[in-house]
Amino acid sequence: MSTMAQTGRLIGVGTGPGDPELLTLKAVRALAEADVVAHFAKRKANGNARAIVAGHMKPGVTELPLHYPVTTEISKNHDDYKAQILAFYEESAERVAAHLAAGRTVAVLSEGDPLFYGSYMHLHVRLAHRFPTEVIPGVTAMSGCWSTTGQPIVQGDDILTVLPGTLPEEELARRISGADAVVIMKVGRNLPKIRRALESAGKIGRAIYVERGTMAESVSMPLAAKSDDQAPYFSLILVAGWLGRPGSVSASGAVL
Amino acid sequence: MSTMAQTGRLIGVGTGPGDPELLTLKAVRALAEADVVAHFAKRKANGNARAIVAGHMKPGVTELPLHYPVTTEISKNHDDYKAQILAFYEESAERVAAHLAAGRTVAVLSEGDPLFYGSYMHLHVRLAHRFPTEVIPGVTAMSGCWSTTGQPIVQGDDILTVLPGTLPEEELARRISGADAVVIMKVGRNLPKIRRALESAGKIGRAIYVERGTMAESVSMPLAAKSDDQAPYFSLILVAGWLGRPGSVSASGAVL
């Protein structure tokens, strides 16, 4: 490895929830300064983060797409799947490390915020102790969604619970039941299970479904009006807190 | 009131966690287009949000500072305090409404994200059903803090719990105990209580204290190394999840 002074910088760049105007000034500058722009993607797809920054890519910049291995026929809980994914992250980190060691600054795109459920984290934990590293936070998908629907999500002493929809139904129901405000991420094919959990927690009536928040083709509706088919993985469900707000309706039906 | 076509727009503008470069392109545009820029502030102080946008204020734009009433001698739980604050929000909403009704677009600054514990919400719930309204999400203080410290906060099936430090000690301890990753907001004079709650939940060793994340004078350290005096209200405490990450240490002390 070359000495520290000669290495490039690793920059995790949050690209925000979808609307390219929700890039930060700092993210735009990082794209202007980077020698290499990397992003994770499925094969034959460029991914949302790359689409968001399309208008800010420097002509002639080196691109490093990191394509997930095709493992659709293996269960995600299978050891073979885990081994393939771990090997992929190791290999991806070494591909980025080679650029950094050669003195090139690498911007790694990350939809939303890099350290909030982002793939960038798999590079960060492998490289941040080896190279100068900076993380540029981004607007999260959940902020984008509750802003699109205009839902005040938490105020005052409210507790916010963020739940991946991949959790077992009983745990989802238990967590939803004990929460003031809830965001459920990773909806997709978990939607029927999430709906049952919201029903058993008595909060289905307050749940809002949001798809592609902040993007031109954004869709939102009460979850009660949404069918169980065709929810994208990156859709969200919101249950807003702040039940004591002026004009809101209490559990007993009284207008506060 | 004038007809809808003649009214101005209400825009809740998230200004991000502190670094002016973490403004979004959309927030900068909103500031360039607004006729009036409003912000909440204590008396004789301009507030963080106003400081963040200082470099983007249009020369000659009308400013509308909304100064909280001075109520330092009354307890926050006292009915007189609540009545004064409610009257202040009503009066503030009507001051903004007067500009909107006259056809002027009003940008209301909100540190972090407007609908995430933001004062803007008090205007939103009073005005969004009366005037065309848009909310521009921002990078939250918590994203700013975990990016500054480089802490991957949640990954995979991790649950994130966001707790106001104003909650009673027992509830804090119970919630921290049952969580994967925790963010504790509104630290300030609640720090000794929060520390006890983290201790009784067995998570004090993983807690990181962050002050003014993303700002030049940012400070962060293990909570164990931080004294109980002089924590600003807007400092945060982070307990990161993703305990199974490569290189992390399990509860039993094994390196994973």
Strand pairing report for B10-14 and B106-110: parallel
pLDDT for residue A60: 92
Residues of A in contact with B146 (CB under 8 A): 115-116, 137
pLDDT for residue A251: 37
Q: CB distance B155–A121 less than 8 Å?
A: yes
Residues of B in contact with A152 (CB under 8 A): 115, 121, 124-125
Residues of B in contact with A162 (CB under 8 A): 154, 159-162
Residue among B213, B31, B26, B29 at smallest CA distance from A23? B26
Question: Closest Cα of chain A to B107: distance in Å?
Answer: 15
Question: Closest Cα of chain B to A169: distance in Å?
Answer: 13
What's the DSSP call for residue B222?
E
Q: CB distance B121–A152 less than 8 Å?
A: yes
Question: Closest Cα of chain B to A173: distance in Å?
Answer: 13
Residues of chain B with pLDDT under 70: 1-5, 71-77, 246-256
pLDDT for residue A74: 64
β-partners of residue A154 are B116
User: How far is A191 from A172, CA to CA, in rounded Å?
Assistant: 12
User: How far is A97 from A94, CA to CA, in rounded Å?
Assistant: 5
pLDDT for residue A214: 81
pLDDT for residue A246: 62
β-partners of residue A163 are A184
The verdict on A165 touching B (C-beta cutoff 8 Å) is no
pLDDT for residue A81: 81
pLDDT for residue A238: 97
B196-253: pLDDT as tens digits: 999 999 999 999 999 988 888 888 999 999 988 778 877 999 999 988 776 444 333 3
pTM summary value: 0.92
pLDDT for residue B251: 37
Q: CB distance A157–B136 less than 8 Å?
A: no
Q: Which of these ranges, A139-143, A249-253, B197-201, has the smallest mean pLDDT?
A: A249-253
pLDDT for residue B123: 97
Dump the DSSP string for A100-133: HHTT--EEEEESB-TTBS-THHHHHHHHTTTS-E
The verdict on A42 touching B (C-beta cutoff 8 Å) is no
A residues 229-248 near B, CB within 8 Å?
242, 245-248
Q: What is the mean pLDDT of chain A?
A: 89
> Scanning every residue of chain B, which has its alpha carbon at the shortest distance from the alpha carbon of A178?
B175
User: How far is B240 from B207, CA to CA, in rounded Å?
Assistant: 8
> Scanning every residue of chain B, which has its alpha carbon at the shortest distance from the alpha carbon of A27?
B22
User: Please, are residues A14 and A137 in contact by the beta-carbon 8 Å criterion?
Assistant: yes
A77-88: pLDDT as tens digits: 677 888 899 999
User: How far is B74 from B188, CA to CA, in rounded Å?
Assistant: 19
Question: Closest Cα of chain A to B6: distance in Å?
Answer: 22
How confident is the model over A184-204, as a mean pLDDT? 95
Question: Closest Cα of chain B to A66: distance in Å?
Answer: 19
pLDDT for residue B227: 87
Q: CB distance A20–B19 less than 8 Å?
A: no
pLDDT for residue B249: 41
pLDDT for residue B74: 64
- Kindly tell me the burial class for residue A189, based on how many C-beta atoms sit within 10 Å of its own C-beta (0-12, 13-18, 19 or more): middle
pLDDT for residue A231: 81
User: How far is B167 from B183, CA to CA, in rounded Å?
Assistant: 13
**Looking at per-residue confidence, does B233 or A235 come out higher?**
A235
A2-48: pLDDT as tens digits: 445 589 999 999 999 999 999 999 999 999 999 999 999 987 777 88
**Looking at per-residue confidence, does A1 or B182 come out higher?**
B182
The verdict on A130 touching B (C-beta cutoff 8 Å) is no
pLDDT for residue B2: 43
